[in-house]
Amino acid sequence: MRVLGIETSCDESAVAVWDGGVRACRTHSQIAMHAVFGGVVPELASREHLRALPGLVDATLTDAGLSPAAIDLVAVTRGPGLLGALLVGVAYAKALALAINRPILGIDHLQAHLMAAFLEREPVFPAVGLLVSGGHTALYRIEDVDRWEILGRTLDDAAGEALDKVAKLLNLPYPGGAYVEVLAQRGKKGRPFLPRPFLDNDHCDFSFSGLKTAAALWIQEQGIQPLGYGKFIPEVVPDVVCQLCAEVNQAVVDTLLEKTRRALRRTPQAQALVLAGGVAANTALRTACAALAKEQGLSFFAPELAYCGDNGAMVAHLGALLGARGYRNDLAFEAIPRGRRIPDDYL
Ligand code: KG4
Ligand code: ZN
């Protein structure tokens, strides 16, 4: 099945063609535009999707050597994400599906991220999935490609958001998660001095806002100055900043790992642990999750680095998996913003 996947939930306009494998995949990143503001400006994101999407779809189809009529199914991210940004992709996808007279499928962005671990191999179920990105942190029990149960989610900030906010306090480039990691690798490992937040309970939900506040207080106490503007040169960053980055990075990894351990305990039938989302590019997190899976006798899967962040391939791929089972949406399906449950309204 040839599937065109469209992703516009946040700050990447992304399109891909899936045909038993990734046939073409293009991303138009808006990072440079939002970097000026130190975070995603939703209205600008929507406008940029609107500007970029038509050309991106044409170029991706050209890469794949296909005309629009050669597409069997249009898959589009319907949520969760920024509502205005989602609406651009969903409206475009509906119009395209109508024009080429092909079915459409609305895709859950978080499920698509997790299934990106299986872009190059058959999925393994049942699995526990840890999804960690700039907008979301969640744990799932995945029984099958169409049977998902949420075990935990963040009650406030996402893990990537916490890293990005600490990075912003230090005036690291945007988005900061990857830069925190670079500095963390230079920082000396010492005794923990930041909290591993929200572990003193018996559930799998997360809360990362306290970690950001604790880091902000520590920055104040230590009299750390934000880095000067200009090029990011890790070698000249003060040791104390690298130490803070190492600690924040470790606190995020420790917390994610403890909750994942709980989710695995509640899923004794699991065969695999799956890690995905933008923060899955983090080496310490990948290594820790792989070790946890090994310790529990499970297989471990995470997407290639190129498919950890938002991309069109993950949308086209999940579209193909669900489409092969006969799932479809009618043209009335809605875009769903962050915080609202995605309805089970497949045809
Ligand atoms: O999945 P994604 O591209 O977008 C969302 O759906 O949010 O994730 C972006 C997030 C950002 O918070 C970014 O700082 C984080 O992923 N990130 C990282 C790394 N690379 C990207 N966080 C930690 N370590 C990294 N290497
Ligand atoms: Zn994402």
CA distances from 322 to 1, 63, 77, 87, 108 (A): 11, 24, 13, 22, 11
Atom of ligand 1 nearest to the CA of 181: 24
Tell me the pTM.
0.96
- DSSP assignment, residue 307? G
Please give all residues whose beta carbon lies within 6 A of any atom in ligand 1, as ranges: 10, 133-135, 160, 163-164, 175-178, 181, 277-279, 281-282, 309-310
Of the listed ligands, the closest to the CA of 136 is 1
Chain mean pLDDT for the chain: 96
**Cα–Cα distance for residue pair 242/170, rounded to 1 Å:** 11
State how far the alpha carbon of 181 is from the alpha carbons of 28, 239, 264, 281, in Å: 24, 14, 26, 10
pLDDT of residue 257: 98
CATH architecture of residue range(s) 3-117+307-323: 2-Layer Sandwich (3.30)
Instruction: Supply the pLDDT for residue 25.
Output: 98
Same fold, 3-117+307-323 and 125-302: yes
Q: Dump pLDDT digits (tens) for 148-172.
A: 999 999 999 999 999 999 999 999 9
- Per-residue CA distances from 221 to 152, 162, 226, 239, 282 (Å): 33, 19, 14, 16, 28
> Which atom, in ligand 1's list, is nearest to the CA of 9?
6
Band (pLDDT 50/70/90 cuts) for residue 231 is confident
Mean pLDDT over residues 78-86, rounded?
97
> Which residue minimizes the CA distance to atom 19 of ligand 1?
178
Q: Is 210 exposed, middle or buried (0-12, 13-18, 19+ CB in 10 A)?
A: middle
Block residue for tokens 């946040």: 10
The β-bridge relationship of strands 104-108 and 73-79 is: parallel
Q: 111-144 pLDDT, tens per residue? A: 999 999 999 999 999 999 999 999 999 999 999 9
Fold of the domain spanning 125-302? Nucleotidyltransferase; domain 5 (3.30.420)
Domain range list for the chain: 3-117+307-323, 125-302
